[in-house]
Amino acid sequence: MKRIETALISVYNKEGLDEIVLHLHKSGVKIYSTGGTHDFILALGIKSIAIESLTEYPSILGGRVKTLHPKVFGGILGRRNLPEDVEQMEQYGIPPFDLVVVDLYPFEETVRQTTESKDIIEKIDIGGISLIRAAAKNFAEVLVVPSADYYKDLLSLLNKKDDQTSLDDRARFASYGFAVSSHYDTAIFDWMNKGYSEAFRKSSNQPTSLRYGENPQQQGIYFGKLEDIFEKLHGKELSYNNLLDLDAGMSLLAEFDEPTFAILKHNNACGLACRSQLSQAYADALAGDPVSAFGGVLLCNQPVDEETATAVNQLFFEIIAAPDFEINALQLLRSKKNRVILRLRDFDFPEKQFKSVLNGILQQDRDSKSESVSDFKLVTSKKPDARQFDDLVFANKVAKHTRSNAIVLAKNKQLVGSGIGQTSRVDALKQCIAKARENEFVLEGAVLASDAFFPFSDSVQLAAEAGIAAVVQPGGSVRDQESIDACNKLGVSMVFTGTRHFKH
C-alpha cells in the first residue's frame, strides 16, 4: 500500500472537485495546482501551491504552456525504487507526485457546438493529456484520475482505504487514463481527418450492457449514445436483436415522406404501407403478413393517434417507435408492462458502416442512393402506368432494405409479399408469390422489385404467370436481353435502375 502525500490537480470540470480537495486538505496532502484550478482551491479557503511556483516559469502563450516542464513531469515519471532517479529528483528540486487529477478541455462538446476551427483547435488539450499519459505510465508510483467522471471513484477509494492505494488500484485507474486519452485522440483524429488517412479509428465511452447478444449464451454490449436516437417512454430494457431491428426499420422508414407504417421481423419488413391516414397505413401493413407480425417491431414516421394505438394494442409486439404519441394513445399502449415505447428523435445515420469480419473490420459507405421514376430506364415496349410507377418506386425502396437475394411484391403502395435471404433469385420469387397468396392478395396488376439483376428469364416467366404487371431491377446481366424479350412476349413492362442494392 502507498500513502498519498502529494497531489497535482489540473482540471477543466470542477463540479465535485471541492469534496476531493477538502478531503486531501484534511488528510494533510500537499496540493499543487494550475490556473483556474488553483483559483478554485484558494476560493475554498485551502492552501495550494501554484505550479508556476514550482517551475519558476509563468503560464505562456495564452495558457497553451503551463505544466510542460521537467519539474512537473519528473515528479510524475520518477521511479522511486531507482536510486539514480531519486538522486536526480533531489538534485533538481523535483517533488514526487503520488496523485494526479486531470479533466481535459471539452473537445467533443466544442465540436458539437461550433464549426469554427479556431475555437475547436484551442480545445485540443496538450498539457492535460500529457499528464494523464505520464501518470498512467508510472502507475507503479502514481494514482491518476483522468476525468471528472472518476471524481466519485477517487473519493470512495480515499475514504475506504484511508488515503492509501494498492498497485491494483493504481493499475485500474491507469487503464481509465489510457481509455480517456485514446478516446480523446480518436475524437481529434475524426475531426481532423478529411479523407487524408484511411486508418480505422472508432471509440466510445458509453457502453450499455444488454440482456444478452443474439442468443442467451452470448454477452451483448452496445457502444453509443442511444439517447441521441430515441427517448424510451415505457417498457423493458432493449436487447441486441431489438437494436438490429430498430436500425433496419429506421433505415427503411427514412426512405418515405408520406405517412408510413412498417412492421419488422429479423431485420426485414414483413409489413409496410403508405397511406394518408396512419391508422390505415397500420391496418394495411399488418395485412401484409399478420402471422409474421406477431412479436415484431413496429415503426412509423407520424405521431401515433388514439385510433392507431387502439388497433395496434390488439397485437402482441415488442417495440413501437414513432416521432410522438398522443396522450391517450400513449396511455393505452402503456397497458402492457414489458412493451417498449420509443419516441424517435431527429437522427442522421453515419455515412460509414462497419462490421467485424474474421480478425478485422469491414468499412463501407452507407447505401444512400434511392431511385425515383426519373432514374428508371424503360427497356420494354410496354410502359408502366402512373400507379405502377409509384408502386415500382415503393417496391424498389423496400427491396433495398431486404436481405439478399430479395424479391418484393407491392400493390397500391402496400407490401404484399417478400422473398427474403434466398440462395437463388427464382426461389426468392417463389417464396414471395406463395406468401402473397397465403395472405389472399390478388397479384393481378402488382409490381415486382429485385435487389439485383435476373440471371435468367425464368423469374420473368414466373412473375407473369402470377399476374405481375411491371418489374424494376438493376439490370447488368449478360442475359438481360433474354429477360427483356420475355417481358415483351408476356406483356410485362420492365425498367432498369442501373443500381444494385445487395444487403447481407
Outline where DSSP puts E strands in 219-294: 221-223, 230-234, 260-265, 268-274
353 CB neighbour count, 10 Å cutoff: 12
Catalytic residue ranges? 137, 266
Would you give the DSSP letter of residue 237?
P
Strand order in the sheet with 6-11: 49-50, 30-33, 6-11, 99-103, 143-145
Classify residue 184 as exposed, middle or buried by CB count within 10 Å of its CB (0-12, 13-18, 19+): buried
The owner of cell 515528479 is 75
- Alpha-carbon distance of 41 to 27, in angstroms, equals 15
C-alpha cell at 172: 485500474
| Cβ contact 288:298 at 8 Å | no
The owner of cell 436481353 is 481
Helix axes 151-160, 167-192, angle to 10 degrees: 170
Outline where DSSP puts E strands in 291-335: 296-300, 317-322
- Alpha-carbon distance of 266 to 287, in angstroms, equals 18
| Cβ contact 143:4 at 8 Å | yes
Residue 362, beta-bridge partner list: 355
| Cβ contact 105:125 at 8 Å | yes
C-alpha cell at 344: 424517435
Taking the alpha carbons of 293, 295, 300, 302 in that order, is the dihedral positive or negative?
Answer: positive
Taking the alpha carbons of 200, 206, 212, 214 in that order, is the dihedral positive or negative?
Answer: negative
Q: What are phi and psi of 20, to 5 degrees?
A: -65, -45
| Cβ contact 417:433 at 8 Å | yes
- The gap between the terminal CA atoms of the chain, to the nearest Å, is 54
The residue length of the chain stands at: 504
C-alpha cell at 343: 419516441
C-alpha cell at 116: 469554427
The owner of cell 415484431 is 296
Q: Report the 3 state secondary structure along 325-393.
A: ECHHHHHHHCCCCCCEEEEECCCCCCCEEEEEECCEEEEEECCCCCCCHHHCEECCCCCCCHHHHHHHH
The owner of cell 486531470 is 102
**Ramachandran area for residue 491 (φ above 0: left; ψ -120 to 50: alpha; else beta):** left
